[in-house]
Structure 1
């Protein structure tokens, strides 16, 4: 990103900064010299963010922004741009997990996950674009390898992330014509409170899984193996900072070798058989029944 006079390296607004990747990115960006507007849905959950900022010796402008409240988020984005006279970058990070398969989730639960992970992300992007056009800035969105590779018992989350991926891939060349660079950062497993925030009650899930109990049991046993090579939020934040600073960043950026190989396998799998064969194994013995 080109350095901006009067505002260090530019003004960047980050969503979902109460924990995990969002918190780590806010602190890292401030340490790198950006003016950081760190937003979160519930200001009462800003304690960890404030502590991390204090420990790093940086100042953050912490504001409430619920990405599912379109009028509120539009007002907040406009207020930030007015307060600083510009908005140079937005990092879409806010999101919510969803674990469960189609017959075990209600349609309201599925819609709610899309409201946050897809519509909320697009609403923030829409509100920010006029300001990013003015600054010839950039949009960085935290996606997921789940937006590329569909994963058992994560259908809703993966579908929402895939929708974000497709939308932004379609938007990127259009935004480029008005001076806005669009990138999506794709982490694999990350050690953060995001997983904890899904609030899984594993015994209750298994008790309610009916015919899916063997498959769900296999999946829940596999999850720790998946997270054995998980990154830290700080490692993902470092990739986000690289994208912000890159004069010509690519559209799609994976944050680890694992993520690169995972995504590469999908992009080379034209008929989908390799991916489905791999993810079927995550369900253990149930996959052969």
Structure 2
């Protein structure tokens, strides 16, 4: 008997991570659904039961900012299942602010969760993925391709993710490991809600940046009113997980493809600036 393929997914308590865990289990994978606080697993477990895949999903604690937590989780996975065939780096945190109004510690914290946590998880998983000729799938963002107002720290982290994974891809391929970067656009999930933004307070604290912040928030709320569902955004991740030869870079929607195309063809930066200037005026 061949053991079922095993995938470890970070950040599965809600949104895309939760939907990806359900989709992976539906595709027949043993799914290790990890989260920093396993007390928040209720939504995932309920969705798994409703989808009839509760027996394929195992919830484990993993904090991507804690190397000991990562190592302990992977040790358990290998001890219990004997293999790891894929890692989905999904854990992340939004951050809204501009550099004059935020501390450098906020930037470091945003990088820690969105970039260094991904690096640590990938580094720890690679020996096991080499053994199975597995794959690393990392959730970036269209904000990893095109810098967005009031998202300096978040976009910096996602730009770093893109550069890291694009650079790793040819190296990992020499040892049989596929690397894929997934770029969602707006997704209707708790990711943005978790900002905990008090808009009146934020505007009051924004000083000379208040008009630009108000314009940006208005524009962003309109965009998110037409967002993908988490399941829609997770579908390309499942395709990358199960397909024979996943692309190195995948956008989750036509909107996202059009959006990143703006900057990928923008040699002097003028097209991006023409676009983003309209978001803050």
Same fold (TM over 0.5): yes
Instruction: Pick from 155, 173, 185 the counterpart of residue 188 of structure 1.
Output: 185
Instruction: Pick from 225, 230, 233 the counterpart of residue 228 of structure 1.
Output: 225
Match in the other structure for 1:41: 36
1:19 maps onto 2:14 in alignment: yes
Instruction: Measure the CA separation in 2 of the matches of 1:23 and 1:156.
Output: 25
Instruction: Pick from 255, 260, 277 the counterpart of residue 258 of structure 1.
Output: 255
Aligned length: 279
Please show how residues 1-289 of structure 1 align to structure 2 within 5 Å. Answer: 5-7=2-4, 10-59=5-54, 60-284=57-281
Instruction: Measure the CA separation in 1 of the matches of 2:67 and 2:47.
Output: 29
> Unaligned 5+ residue runs, structure 1?
285-289
Deviation at 1:78, TM superposition (A): 2.3
Describe the superposition over 1:249-279 as per-residue Cα deviations: whole angstroms up to 9, x where unpaired.
Answer: 1100001000001111110000101101100
Instruction: Measure the CA separation in 2 of the matches of 1:69 and 1:198.
Output: 22
Q: Which moved more, 1:74-83 or 1:35-44?
A: 74-83
Instruction: Measure the CA separation in 2 of the matches of 1:82 and 1:247.
Output: 27
Verify the 8 A CA contact 2:61 2:69 in the aligned structure 1.
no
Q: TM-score, normalised by structure 2?
A: 0.98
Deviation at 1:5, TM superposition (A): 2.0
Deviation at 1:82, TM superposition (A): 2.2
Which runs of at least 4 in structure 1 moved beyond 3 Å after TM superposition? none
Q: TM-score, normalised by structure 1?
A: 0.95
> Unaligned 5+ residue runs, structure 2?
none
Q: What CA RMSD, in Å, does the superposition of the two structures yield over aligned residues? A: 0.9
1:166 match: secondary structure: helix
Describe the superposition over 1:151-192 as per-residue Cα deviations: whole angstroms up to 9, x where unpaired.
Answer: 000111011001000000000000000000000110000000
1:86 match: secondary structure: coil
Instruction: Measure the CA separation in 2 of the matches of 1:221 and 1:30.
Output: 38
Verify the 8 A CA contact 2:13 2:41 in the aligned structure 1.
yes
Deviation at 1:236, TM superposition (A): 1.2
Instruction: Measure the CA separation in 2 of the matches of 1:164 and 1:136.
Output: 22
1:184 match: secondary structure: strand
